[in-house]
Chains A and B, each alone.
Chain A
């Protein structure tokens, strides 16, 4: 039963630290609020159950109490906002894309992911570009920018282990970035209902060491050249 847990699963990108930290902070704050309110509720229900001869505390309220609980909640949410805003800007802000990032074009359609690589020359729209379907290979510890476009409906680029999710919208070019930190095999699944095949719109993400990645890249290029 280890899956009944409030811990987030293991993550493997540079976003994990920030996103998971915000999660645990909110978990603690809401957890404390939850315990206080629910225990208060149950305690009142037991303590003030109707018993003959005990008068009720006839009151219409208390302004001091209203001011206190309003301020406490307001201050708490302001703090949460201050914590979230810079992380959001760093992850999704339009100026946040790292300059040294590797660019992969991700063209999505019902129900497949097409990953278009620039090839060894590092430039798109040249003969050595190549496309891999439902297979995404990435080097570890290098920022990646995905340029998301969609052929038909809205899909969502979602790699839970990297804490990244971004919709791909037809008619728009949307850039998102992330940086894997561990080699291994991960899953990418569409997160936006996109039709009857939504559930099987899955891709495998393989994060390789830089050397392995270069070797893989070389193999792809030979395949392209030999065609």
Chain B
């Protein structure tokens, strides 16, 4: 297999770091610094996205009542501290936009793609370090442009994060012109950033694996990030193309999506979801990969069914391209196509189920250590199961007819993106924090944060299933307008209060994250007794990661084999007696 690394640089050269401050920490080409830059940026956006959700929950739980702190908002957003409907639609739009594009996606792909790929495959850095720097420094202006939308006349984009045309295409329909245009420009710039990142990840994984790091010795996190990068590379240009047409419709008088002049509104939906469904898997595959790493480590056992896990990742990546129409069952698309998309959607639940069973198989017979990353990883599995099962309901087109555009969908997507991705992110940050910053996060604070988040998270999103089953529509400013929704006011208030508590609990994470950076216990090289290559270098690793790239001898998850005195066998440790047939997989 072509896994020979490029000629190794002379040792002394790789480790001496004489770069000036600005090239070391600001315009850095070091994948680790770029990963940390992405981490800080996306955590800020996670906080912004969460704050927007709090304002929405105030309005839904206490419709028409003055919001505490509402006097800080200008008259165009809140009148007498009461949120205005036009601002509410902007909140809905921007909460989704920030969370999907500026929080979860960069947290998974930008942060861990950057940080983990070279360290876990044994490379000095990315294949194209300057391209990597460009990727981050395009994401920053994209973020500024997106935030700027709140401060322009007419307010921010208000057509939903899905920006369905013609609502988004003609300023007449929302009263928003500049805000919607900034929204498009920002996402086009961000798309470019993601494409540059993806090219880099793909090239790095294909070309820079250390000697002995064969495809099937790659950790599942790297497999997932690799497949994700391919999805990003193929999906983002579709969104960019669709956005450019949308921007032209708004500014240049074209009419790709405007029917009065012969355009087709459904074209936007097809393009958006042809991007959007692979995007959904971009937002979950890396989480699945990292959870696999953490669960194997926490169970002190090899991952169960490594090969079927890899095949499941690849088949999700493939099937993800042919399910987009399930967002459009009720859109006026030919109903026969609905049946086709139902079949592909049902199929994609199979690889997801395989992954869940294999995680359970990994826990089975293990020796489970409940570290904070492990708590998050296990609750990822528990929550992803709920999100996956609720997805079966809307995969059935006739049932989707009832629950489409209701809170059932809101519940479903948050079980996948928050219960799934965000729990995995919390776990991954805690797991790799010592490598990133050289210090451990506080375990006690981490446990309290985990339990509070787990409880309040479920209190917020589980009852949303009930709202949806009662027909509660999404994105409505004031549910009390409807008689049939009036009995749900109490439940809405319960959800809102839980949401405020959930938000407040995140303060613990912020305190832990910042505090541990300065005061945390010093971390040794391998604090979790893990097998991955990243744990063979100092914490944090020097520029260039290793003087000489390691050589890989073993599969990624050799825990508990009994071949070493410890219960783990690092991938790069050569054993005197060859373990060959003993570690060969009995099964998958």
Q: Which chain A residues have a beta carbon within 8 Å of chain B's beta carbons?
A: 3-9, 15, 18-19, 22-23, 26-27, 29-30, 33-34, 37-38, 40-41, 44-45, 48-51, 54-66, 69-70, 73-74, 77-78, 80-81, 83-85, 87-89, 91-94, 110, 152-154, 156, 158, 160-161, 163-167, 169-172, 174, 187, 189-200, 202
Given known contacts A154-B166, A202-B482, what 4 new A-B pairs fall within 8 Å (CB)? A56-B367, A73-B354, A80-B396, A158-B405
Q: Smallest CB-CB separation from B491: which chain A residue?
A: A3
B559–A56 CB distance below 8 A:
yes
A38–B382 CB distance below 8 A:
yes
B306–A69 CB distance below 8 A:
no
B305 part of interface (Cβ distance < 8 Å): yes
Q: Which A residues touch B404, using CB under 8 A?
A: 165, 191
Q: List 24 A-B contacts (CB under 8 A).
A: A19-B402, A23-B393, A37-B360, A45-B368, A48-B299, A48-B367, A50-B367, A56-B560, A58-B301, A58-B562, A59-B302, A59-B304, A61-B304, A62-B587, A66-B308, A73-B350, A81-B342, A88-B396, A110-B173, A153-B166, A160-B471, A165-B401, A170-B265, A191-B406
Given A26-B392, A163-B401, decide whether A66 and B367 contact each other with a Cβ distance below 8 A.
no
Interface majority SS (helix, strand, loop, mixed), chain B: helix
B357 part of interface (Cβ distance < 8 Å): yes
B335–A89 CB distance below 8 A:
yes
CA distance A8 to B469 in the complex (A): 6
Q: Smallest CB-CB separation from B588: which chain A residue?
A: A61
B401–A92 CB distance below 8 A:
yes
A30–B332 CB distance below 8 A:
no
Given A57-B301, A60-B302, A194-B167, decide whether A44 and B405 contact each other with a Cβ distance below 8 A.
no
Q: Which B residues touch A78, using CB under 8 A?
A: 346
- From the candidates A4, A65, A84, A110, name the one contacting B463 in the complex (CB within 8 A): A4
Given A167-B330, A171-B260, decide whether A58 and B560 contact each other with a Cβ distance below 8 A.
yes
B37 part of interface (Cβ distance < 8 Å): no
A30–B469 CB distance below 8 A:
no
Q: Which B residues touch A8, using CB under 8 A?
A: 402, 469
Interface majority SS (helix, strand, loop, mixed), chain A: mixed
B330–A26 CB distance below 8 A:
no
B207 part of interface (Cβ distance < 8 Å): no
Q: Smallest CB-CB separation from A7: which chain B residue?
A: B469
B483–A66 CB distance below 8 A:
no
Q: Which B residues touch A163, using CB under 8 A?
A: 401-402
Min C-beta distance of A86 to chain B, whole Å = 9
B301–A59 CB distance below 8 A:
yes
Q: Which B residues touch A189, using CB under 8 A?
A: 473, 476, 482
